[in-house]
Structure 1
Amino acid sequence: MTLLYRATEPKRPREVIGVRRALIVLAVLVGQLLAGHGPLAGPARADDAGGRVALIGVPALHWNDITPSDTPHLWKLAASSAIGSLSVRTVGNVTCPYDGWLTVSAGTRSAAGYRCGAPPTPEKQGDGAVIPGYRYLIDVAGQRYAGTLGQSLKTAGQCSVAIGPGAALALADQQGAVRSYRDSATGLTTADLERCRMVAMDVDDLVAPYLKDGPLPAEPELLGPAERRQALRQADAEVGALLTALPAGTTVLLAGMSDHGSVPHLRVSALQRPGAEGRLLGAASTRRDDISILPDLTATVLAELGVAVPPTVVGVPLRVGDPGATVEQLRRADASAQTMRSAKGQYFTALAVIQVLFYVGAFLLLRRRTHWRWLRVAAVAVAALPVTSFLVNLLPWSDHVGLFGGMLAWWAAITVLALAGPWRRRPLGPLAVVAGVTALTLVADLLTGTTLQLNSFMGYSAEQGARYFGLGNIPFALLATGTLLSTTVIAHRWPGKVGVAAIVVLGAIAMVLGGSGLGSDFGGVIAFVPGIAVTALILSGKRVSLAKLAAFCVAGGVIVMGFAWYNYLQPPAEQTHLGRFVGQVLTGEAFDVIWRKLEAMLATLLSPNLMPIVIVAVAFLVYAILRPEQASAGVVPAAFEHSPALRAGLIGTLVSGVVGMLVNDSGAAVLSMALALAVPLLLATGIGAVAFGRGSAPGVGEQLSGVPK
């Protein structure tokens, strides 16, 4: 399919005015969004009136472990605290205790650089200790920020007490030294702890049995229920011993710190201080009222002690939220995440199989010119499937039956809506419904806190920790495709300047929502801009060359860097990964980030679930255009003949999909989902055009009469 298009007549002045007005509207929108993007949390400031803090880390602890009978001290602590879920993701898919404590030390996601287990045992030196091989972390493993927490306390003149290897690692300064160290809390008195305002304890009784062979086990659960309960009782006793010795008025932080096997989980997070009891515990870093990350512990400790939080710390102080938090609520959150995770591979496999079978069936039925009505129904149903993974979160579900039952209900509802209304007799009617529902669902989700993308097959999950808010890469592909196809329906109905303005304005609104603080999608903006521009230019009868396409991609990069620069100018506690990327560019760390994303993108090209969708969709589309009578009985050319605007929208979608694949670490997932929505709807439109004998829309057909097909 060529990207070179030529106008048959010069652009009329009214169309120029329409495009200019659209650009003015876009500029106003961007300005309002940037000006109105308020902070989620205030910056941490040094305060000499800081209190006492105790950080109790219990690696492997999740909310299912805490019960009144097995863990009375932990249960009592949770009952008097604000509680939430802790995402312990660092660098790998699962986090060992070494990496968890190292991340708290650095204030940013960190890893020792190999498949690790427990933190190293400190070497005692007088009352303190030194972490053996500490320079390895900085010189070899590249963990340049290791020791940030301990060094900040040391610089501020704050002493600290570390109990256990993990706590020593967290509180060590940049030379690996800890001023005061104890192996355990046994024999510890209140007088011992009153000397320093900061104490951290590594309670490793629960995770130790999992690390008997060194690294984390390569299986989900190594211990039986009885063995785990026994380890929990020992850990609870250690926690109780420290709680008894803490000076009055100490703020207590309880954290799950790490995973215990091959499957990531949401872990325990609790904050005990006056007024926090029974409330949710979250952080602005995740924009969730009940979820926080390990670097938030670093920021919280420093803020509670009145020590300035260094700008390299990516976490923010924990935020006590609304009342009504329950342990059962947090247990369900992890159960939902595990339900989604356990079925995600099968879901994408099934999606790939459905797509492949659909194209094979479409090819055979179209060649035989039979059962076209049912083929149209199947095409609409296949296109309606992706958005159901978001809409199901509007329904209560807790297991696989509820999850897939809810998705099937939404699938049927959208398909019936697209094919049962009066618009069903219009070739573009089903396309408008499915594409519109997809785009509006994601726009509404962006405007309401992205609750639909969290714990969804097409979105993201907190325990995996790749993203906690905003627009994910696959949702971007669906938003871009749904928006471009929906706006081409407007361009079909109102050709000329109205249609072009609709493409530019509505596409730009979706792009700004995705790239601003609401969506925080870096690669999406780079890909969306050329898609919008190409669609608008084709509708205007302008030529689209490779040079212009490259310029549009550069423009997308400039726009997203504008978003990123604005975000970078905010206080560190208010920055998203867009702003932090600017900081990484300035410090020279951006190359490592880009390289990791490139490796991830290339890995998706070998995905057995994603590439089949890309291959069969592209093969069918190309064959249907080059050999229309043999491949599709002419229904694809019929769709373009009925609506040249649809051709423009499809080309814009392909441009966004290809560019999005190249600039996002999700790679082939972006293009595959764009095709999964666009190509079946194109086929449904073509069948409708042939079945109902509709000609091309007046005005647009004349405007593009010279465009090669």
Structure 2
Amino acid sequence: MKRMLPVLIALGAALIGMLSLLPQPSAEPVLDSAERVILVGAPGLRWDDVSPVETPTLWAFARKGSVGALTVRSGRSPTCPVDGWLTLGAGNYARGGPDPVDGVCPLTYPTLVRTDAGAKLDKSEHDAIVEDNKEHTAGVELGALSESARCTAAVGPGAAVAAARPFGRIDRYAPEAGPGMRELLDACVLSFVDLGTIDGEGTERIVAARQADAVLAAVLATRPERSLVIVAGLSDTGDASRLHVVVAQGPGFGPGWLSSPSTGREGYVRLIDLAPTALRALGRPVPGQLFVGAAANPSAGRPTDVDDAVGRLADADRLAGAQRRVSTLFFAGLTVAQLVLFVLVFLMLRRDTVDERVCWALTAAAVAVPAAMVTDIVPWWRASRPGLSFVLIFAAVLGLVTAATVRLTRGSGALGPLGGVTGAVAFAVGVDVLTGARLQLDGVTGYSALAGGRYTGIGTIGLGVFVGAVLFAAASVAQRVGRSWRPVVVAVIGTVAVVTVGSPHFGADAGGAVGFTAGVCVAAAMSSGGWLTGRRLSWAVVAASALTVAFALIDLNRPVDRRGSVGRFLAHIGDGTSGLVVNRNGASSVVTTLTSPLTLLVIGGVAFLWLAQVRAWGGLRRVFGLFPAVRGAFAGTVVASLLAGVVDGVGLNVLGAALAVVLPLTVLALLRVRIGTTPDRPIRERLPV
């Protein structure tokens, strides 16, 4: 019974963790229905274009409506005006027309041929767009939104593109706002209006915004009773992606934030959410197999002062733009720095010496990603030179964290820095995820709202850091207890972390939870000794598979727009489209692997570890022999990160993020095992750990 007790405790913790993953049912909001819906598009319109002086109509409209930041992802990057209109009409990631030239979007639309009351798109141009979408974006049906309504009307050439039915016909059409607008908007339950494109900079942009505001004033003056009007900046106009304007005002949509179940983040909406929002407002069924978004909802909490609300949305746009530029340079620099550091350690080990400065550098390398997370607390993106501002603040934070870590772990033994740093990092990331993941969205080490893929929960980098930190922190604790209790310690700590990652209320990453479960099983099995055998790996894969099936079956019973990645994949298996998903994820993994700097970090780190393991001067074998729980944590981190990267379609990024934290700490532990904590001593002069 004594020998079974640890096993029973571990199984009980795992069972409680799996039960905690059960999604809680959430009631659908009940909104007033509208008799008409008018979708008003202004490609390029951003929140920094909106002001009470230049756009008074839009400003007053925003005061009375629900506002949000719109991500304009389409079937092509960048999303040009024609792509935005096509995506709006399809309710799916669509594309069309000529490609951008030197990052500049073409501002033209397909040729229109007028008919008696409406119009139609030129057949050859429309057929070319249809074929282009079939080739690049499977599952898109152009004009799916219009097909869901008996009659549609369009004002302007861009609106005609969105209102066109699958065969290119627009029921009712007017080239511009003018006399007869009231009759046109009243004739159909669904209408589209083109305010014009907001492009350029300075005076040119201000003039375009004023003209769009004047057209909006004409639309609002002639809108039918009980109509819902949605104004959206449908696209970018160049290669720099931005967040855009979205405002909904009418039955069910009053002053507040505009949010969507597809983002799960208050105040954020995707372009693909507008089509289901329109149909739900009209009381029409949403074709779930064609629309990939979710109907947007109003939510409370918006500041009563519209100036404050608009300022927050404009600030979110500035942050999203700055994050993308800084994040790329940060990870490139981190990869180069760590690879250079591993070369220096390699040379030192060959020469039987250790420099204290290298130990400091290893500590700094290990805390670099967490320090970047802390830096995001400071609004560096508001500076006139955001990149330089981030570098200066990050350097200060990194220096303070490194100095504090070295001071607190001095003389603490070989596992002092490893256990202390990973424990602190796991705690910090866990608290952030449990409290809303504020440092994940548009953080330098987080995910970008502009990508349109994730808005809540834990991101790819955060997942890798969390997996590595949790498993190594658990291993450090497990080394301090008896051999038979080590698997229990790792299993219990790992289960809490798996729940944090997989719960739809916190980490919201079912794929990450699947990989993490396998990693925890491997780490727990190896913590008491031994290597990663085929049997242990098989048990880990079985456990992860069981969690996958259980979670997917539960997730499948949730509403379509609230399903996680595992539940959506099971649904694709049911409707026969799983092959497309597998191919898309596989292609995504390949592209990410080939383009991410973290891939180089993985290759370089694995090469260094192999040399340190097989060469007598390396000392890694001795570290793993002294601390079997650390060996288990390393194997578990690799298994969990690789599996999560495959499921989530992010290549080696999860593993790269994990190694960026745990690999420098492992090397530091190796040095401490070989020479103790005294620097500048020949390795052959062994000191007690």
Q: TM-score range by the shorter chain?
A: 0.7 to 0.9
Specify the alignment match of 2:508 in structure 1: 520
Shift of 1:114: 6.7
Of the three residues 298, 301, 305, the one matched with 1:320 is: 298
Shift of 1:662: 4.2
Specify the alignment match of 1:337 in structure 2: 320
Specify the alignment match of 1:150 in structure 2: 146
Matched, 1:606 2:594: yes
Secondary structure of 1:394's partner? Answer: coil
Shift of 1:624: 1.0
Matched, 1:95 2:79: yes
Matched, 1:431 2:418: yes
Residues of 1 paired with 2:197 and 2:377: CA distance? 40
Specify the alignment match of 1:363 in structure 2: 346
Shift of 1:628: 3.4
Specify the alignment match of 1:201 in structure 2: 193
Contact 1:160/1:197, CA 8 A, preserved across alignment? yes
Shift of 1:372: 4.0
Specify the alignment match of 2:19 in structure 1: 31
Write out aligned runs for 1:171-210 (5 A).
171-206=163-198
Shift of 1:428: 1.2
Which amino acid is the alignment partner of residue 487 of structure 1?
A
CA distance 1:113–1:671, change in 2 (3 Å): farther
Of the three residues 89, 113, 124, the one matched with 2:114 is: 124
Shift of 1:493: 0.7
Residues of 1 paired with 2:473 and 2:196: CA distance? 55
Of the three residues 222, 228, 232, the one matched with 1:255 is: 232
Scaled by the length of structure 2, the TM-score of the pair is 0.88
Which moves more between the two structures, 472-481 or 388-397? Answer: 388-397
Contact 1:511/1:529, CA 8 A, preserved across alignment? yes
Which amino acid is the alignment partner of residue 682 of structure 1?
T
Specify the alignment match of 2:156 in structure 1: 164
Contact 1:44/1:317, CA 8 A, preserved across alignment? no
CA distance 1:548–1:147, change in 2 (3 Å): farther
Shift of 1:554: 5.2
Of the three residues 203, 207, 211, the one matched with 1:234 is: 211
Specify the alignment match of 1:455 in structure 2: 442
Shift of 1:601: 1.8
Of the three residues 459, 465, 470, the one matched with 2:452 is: 465
Secondary structure of 1:493's partner? Answer: coil
Shift of 1:80: 2.9
Residues of 1 paired with 2:536 and 2:486: CA distance? 21
Of the three residues 494, 497, 504, the one matched with 2:491 is: 504
CA distance 1:82–1:462, change in 2 (3 Å): same
Residues of 1 paired with 2:541 and 2:246: CA distance? 42
Shift of 1:304: 1.7
Of the three residues 375, 393, 401, the one matched with 2:376 is: 393
CA distance 1:356–1:113, change in 2 (3 Å): farther
Shift of 1:370: 3.6
Secondary structure of 2:595's partner? Answer: coil
CA distance 1:181–1:132, change in 2 (3 Å): same
The alignment yields a C-alpha RMSD, in angstroms, of 2.8
Contact 1:33/1:516, CA 8 A, preserved across alignment? yes
Write out aligned runs for 1:578-657 (5 A).
578-607=566-595, 609-629=597-617, 632=618, 634=619, 636-657=620-641
Deviations 1:100-139 (A, max 9, x none): 2222222232334973754424433321233444565556
Residues of 2 paired with 1:618 and 1:590: CA distance? 33
Residues of 1 paired with 2:354 and 2:501: CA distance? 40
Deviations 1:275-316 (A, max 9, x none): 866532222211111110012211221122222222233322
Residues of 1 paired with 2:674 and 2:97: CA distance? 60
Specify the alignment match of 2:50 in structure 1: 66
Residues of 1 paired with 2:460 and 2:551: CA distance? 17
Write out aligned runs for 1:365-380 (5 A).
365-380=348-363
Specify the alignment match of 2:28 in structure 1: 42
Contact 1:206/1:228, CA 8 A, preserved across alignment? yes
Deviations 1:514-570 (A, max 9, x none): 233233335423432332222222224466433652553354244234323322211
Deviations 1:209-228 (A, max 9, x none): xxxxxxxxxxxxxx342322
Residues of 2 paired with 1:419 and 1:16: CA distance? 41
CA distance 1:561–1:449, change in 2 (3 Å): farther
Shift of 1:371: 4.2
Deviations 1:145-181 (A, max 9, x none): 3332212222xxxx33221233233333444433222
Deviations 1:456-510 (A, max 9, x none): 2221111122322222222221111111101101110113333211212221332
Matched, 1:279 2:256: yes
Which amino acid is the alignment partner of residue 35 of structure 2?
G
Which amino acid is the alignment partner of residue 193 of structure 2?
M
Specify the alignment match of 2:475 in structure 1: 488
Shift of 1:388: 2.4
Secondary structure of 1:513's partner? Answer: helix
CA distance 1:602–1:33, change in 2 (3 Å): closer
Residues of 1 paired with 2:399 and 2:59: CA distance? 44
CA distance 1:593–1:115, change in 2 (3 Å): farther
Residues of 1 paired with 2:97 and 2:501: CA distance? 34
Runs of 5+ in structure 1 lacking a partner?
1-12, 208-222, 695-709
CA distance 1:675–1:593, change in 2 (3 Å): same
Secondary structure of 1:141's partner? Answer: helix
Residues of 2 paired with 1:600 and 1:442: CA distance? 26
Which amino acid is the alignment partner of residue 286 of structure 2?
V
Q: What is the total number of aligned residue pairs between the two structures?
A: 655
CA distance 1:329–1:96, change in 2 (3 Å): same
Contact 1:42/1:574, CA 8 A, preserved across alignment? no
Specify the alignment match of 1:573 in structure 2: 561
Contact 2:474/2:493, CA 8 A, preserved across alignment? yes
Residues of 1 paired with 2:643 and 2:566: CA distance? 19
Residues of 1 paired with 2:483 and 2:662: CA distance? 23
Secondary structure of 2:449's partner? Answer: coil
Specify the alignment match of 1:56 in structure 2: 40
Secondary structure of 2:605's partner? Answer: helix
Contact 1:526/1:553, CA 8 A, preserved across alignment? no
Scaled by the length of structure 1, the TM-score of the pair is 0.85
Deviations 1:590-649 (A, max 9, x none): 2222212222222334337223312221121111111131xx4x3x34433442221221
CA distance 1:26–1:387, change in 2 (3 Å): same
Shift of 1:86: 0.2
Secondary structure of 2:2's partner? Answer: helix
CA distance 1:402–1:282, change in 2 (3 Å): farther
Contact 1:537/1:543, CA 8 A, preserved across alignment? no
Residues of 1 paired with 2:485 and 2:70: CA distance? 49
CA distance 1:499–1:388, change in 2 (3 Å): same
Residues of 2 paired with 1:33 and 1:670: CA distance? 22
Secondary structure of 1:92's partner? Answer: coil
CA distance 1:339–1:165, change in 2 (3 Å): same
Specify the alignment match of 1:383 in structure 2: 366
Residues of 1 paired with 2:109 and 2:563: CA distance? 30
CA distance 1:693–1:362, change in 2 (3 Å): closer
Deviations 1:39-65 (A, max 9, x none): 3x61789x8x53332211101111122
Residues of 2 paired with 1:654 and 1:205: CA distance? 49
Deviations 1:656-706 (A, max 9, x none): 334444444321322222222222111222233344489xxxxxxxxxxxx
CA distance 1:433–1:284, change in 2 (3 Å): same
